[in-house]
């Protein structure tokens, strides 16, 4: 990343806003076969941030809604405020003051990039508020630092798609190299969040450190197939490629009714079914919204019959990332 220290704010001759309201999308990491490298953004759900200039310097959280009291309010502990503090430090403007309201519109610990969406909303908001002194891409390392605070690991597979929209490929971390992949026109997503607890750290620790080369070869054949399918807009190839022989067999154990849910989705005509991030949310791709709705409905009914509550979402792929609302 290019150094942007002590950047002058590009507000000469234009009126800066006093307040912005920003939406940032939820995301699905891994995308079944692309463990730790692929992700995409959803049109819904997503988190919202209202950010307001204050006279006093410093970053303050003044309101959090929708978190059931689970998120910290201390500026250096909350990923949104901490990321905004890092941003102000990066651009050399610690003299600026803002207060933040955070509206969580998706559950925490759902595997839908909840912390990433909040962090991206906050970073996009402060950059808008100050007239975009740095580019959207330059926000990425700051968002990754926010993920480190939230999950203990500066991964990019949720913040990259939330910030850039569409499908993103994190080719490399050292140096950071993120590639934007095309979004096929008729891709829809059914997401189900069953109300069971799968902490990201535990799910990550379950994964074996060594894998069979032959399984890795099968996995990278599928990744190459999925990427090709996105470029070629070949839904059948996308469907054939979305298989995970390495991670899913371990993680699926933590998700009740996983294989039954898959059967329901695939026999209804889904292109794919798998875990979103480290779970417990699961998702299906379809080529039309109605089918995604049908799948959400059928799986929800099945889970309820087994005494499991769930949230369901039906969404197109978000191509734009965060936006002012």
> Closest separation between CB of residue 219 and a copy of itself, Å?
6
The candidate with the shortest Cα–Cα distance to 281, out of 300, 301, 306, 304, is 300
Q: Assess whether 168 carries a catalytic annotation.
A: no
Q: Which residue is catalytic, options 99, 138, 147, 248?
A: 147
Which of 11, 70, 171, 195 forms a contact with a copy of itself (CB under 8 A)?
171
Size of the site for a copy of itself (CB under 8 A): 37
- 301, containing H or E segment: helix 289-305
CB of 177 to a copy of itself, least distance (A): 6
Cα separation, 200 vs 85, in Å, equals: 25
* Residue of 79, 119, 200, 286 marked catalytic: 200
Place of tokens 């692309």: 34
For the question of residue 200 being annotated catalytic, the response is: yes
Q: Which stretch binds a copy of itself (CB under 8 A): 16-24, 202-210, 286-294, 304-312?
A: 202-210
Q: What are phi and psi of 195, to 5 degrees?
A: -80, 70
CA distance 254 to 146: 26
Assess contact for 219 and 32: CB atoms under 8 A.
Answer: no
Minimal distance, residue 285 CB to a copy of itself, in Å: 17
Q: Is 219 in the site for a copy of itself (CB under 8 A)?
A: yes
Least Cβ distance, residue 283 to a copy of itself (angstroms): 19
- Work out which of 35, 87, 273, 285 binds a copy of itself, going by CB under 8 A: 35
Q: Which stretch binds a copy of itself (CB under 8 A): 95-103, 119-127, 203-211, 314-322?
A: 203-211
C-alpha–C-alpha distance, residues 232 and 241, integer Å: 13
Give the Cβ contact number of residue 173 at 10 Å: 14
98 neighbors 52 (Cβ within 8 angstroms) = yes
- Phi/psi of residue 227, nearest 5 degrees: -60, -45
Residues 225-264 touching a copy of itself, rule: CB under 8 A, are: 225, 227-228, 231, 237, 240-241, 246
- The CB-of-224 to a copy of itself minimum distance in angstroms stands at 5
Query: Quick check: 177 binds a copy of itself (CB under 8 A)?
Result: yes
Q: Which residue has 């993680």 as its token pair?
A: 251
Quick one: CA torsion of 78, 317, 240, 214, rounded to 10 degrees?
A: -30
Segment holding 28, helix H or strand E: strand 19-29
278-317 binders of a copy of itself (CB under 8 A): none
- Is 57 or 216 the residue whose CB approaches a copy of itself more closely? 216
Q: Tell me the CA end-to-end span of the chain in Å, nearest whole number.
A: 29
Residue from 9, 216, 253, 325 that binds a copy of itself (CB under 8 A)? 216
Nearer to a copy of itself, 246 or 308 (CB): 246
* Residues carrying an active site annotation: 147, 200
Site residues (vs a copy of itself, CB under 8 A): 34-38, 169-172, 177, 179, 181, 207-214, 216-225, 227-228, 231, 237, 240-241, 246
């Amino acid at each position: 990343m290019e150094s942007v220290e002590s950047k002058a704010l590009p507000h000469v001759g234009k009126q800066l806003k006093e307040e912005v309201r920003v939406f940032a999308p939820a995301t699905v990491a891994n995308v079944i076969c692309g463990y730790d490298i692929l992700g995409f953004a959803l049109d819904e759900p997503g988190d919202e941030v209202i950010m307001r200039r204050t006279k006093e310097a410093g970053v303050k959280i003044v309101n959090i809604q929708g978190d059931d009291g689970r998120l910290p309010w201390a500026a250096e502990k909350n990923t949104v405020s901490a990321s905004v503090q890092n941003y102000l430090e990066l651009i050399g403007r610690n003299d600026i003051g803002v207060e933040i309201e955070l509206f969580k519109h998706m559950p925490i610990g759902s595997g839908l990039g909840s912390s990433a969406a909040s962090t991206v909303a906050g970073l996009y908001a402060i950059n808008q508020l100050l007239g975009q002194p740095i580019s959207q891409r330059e926000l990425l390392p700051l968002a990754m630092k926010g993920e480190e605070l939230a999950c203990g690991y500066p991964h990019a597979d949720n913040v990259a798609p939330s910030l850039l929209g569409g499908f993103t490929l994190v080719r490399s971390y050292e140096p950071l190299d993120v590639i934007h992949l095309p979004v096929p026109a008729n891709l829809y997503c059914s997401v189900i969040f069953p109300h069971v607890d799968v902490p990201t750290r535990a799910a990550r620790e379950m994964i074996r450190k060594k894998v069979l080369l032959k399984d890795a070869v099968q996995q990278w054949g599928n990744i190459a197939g999925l990427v090709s399918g996105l470029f070629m807009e070949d839904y059948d190839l996308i469907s054939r490629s979305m298989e995970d022989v390495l991670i899913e067999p371990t993680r699926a154990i933590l998700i009740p009714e996983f294989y039954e849910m898959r059967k329901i989705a695939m026999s209804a005509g889904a292109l794919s079914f798998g875990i979103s991030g480290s779970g417990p949310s699961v998702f299906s791709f379809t080529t039309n919204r109605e089918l995604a709705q049908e799948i959400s409905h059928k799986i929800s009914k099945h889970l309820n019959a087994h005494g499991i509550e769930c949230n369901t979402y039906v969404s197109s792929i978000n191509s734009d990332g965060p936006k002012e609302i």
